[in-house]
Amino acid sequence: MAKIKYIEYNGKEHIVEVQNGLTVMEGAIQNDIPGIDADCGGGMSCATCHVYVKEDWYDKLPKKEMGEDDMLDQAYEPNSNSRLSCQIMVSDDLDGLTVHMPEKQV
């Protein structure tokens, strides 16, 4: 279980507890947090669960797998802090993680 903070583009914060084994994307969808679309349902086949993770957490997350950066090329305003939230698996280690949502997903 990890407490995760989702921050919308307009600054609105949502803090929710997400079960281990879910992804950060699923944590947002199941709690009706706006700002993450996840059109493909978590298959790394779209780029609509794009989030920014600040450096302090970015380096602690499991590294990107092959294909995630290719998908991020097709996201809205990606940068070097970008991740696909469907590829971040929640565990106790992620307690306190903060992710920022982009202005829009599509």
Partner 1 sequence: MIKTDVVIVGAGPTGLFCAHQLGIIGLKCEIVDNLDKIGGQCIELYPDKPIYDIPAVPECTGEELTNNLIEQIKPFKFNFNLNDRVQELTNENDNWVVKTTNGKEFHTPNVVIAGGVGSFEPRKFPTKSAEKFDGTSVLYSIKDKTIFKDKSVAIFGGGDSALDWAIELSNTSKVSLIHRREEFRGAPSSVQKIKELSEKNIINLFTKYSIKDVKGNGSLEEVEIKSEEGESKILKADYVLGFFGLIMQLGPIAEWGLNLNKKAIPVNTENFETNKKGIFAIGDICTYPGKLKLILSGFHEGALAARGCFKYARPNEKYRFEFTTASNTIKDRLGVK
Residues near partner 1 (CB under 8 A): 37, 39-41, 43, 45-48, 69-70, 73-74, 76-80, 103, 106
Closest to partner 1 by CB, 48 vs 88, is 48
Cβ 93 to partner 1, closest distance in Å? 27
Phi-psi region of 73 (alpha: psi -120 to 50; beta: other; left: phi over 0): alpha
Closest to partner 1 by CB, 17 vs 39, is 39
Cβ 44 to partner 1, closest distance in Å? 10
Cβ 20 to partner 1, closest distance in Å? 23
Closest to partner 1 by CB, 65 vs 93, is 65
Cβ 13 to partner 1, closest distance in Å? 22
Rounded-to-integer distance, Cα 73 and Cα 100, Å: 18
With a CB cutoff of 8 Å and minimum separation 6, the contacts of 85 are 23, 24, 25, 28, 36, 38, 49, 50, 51, 99
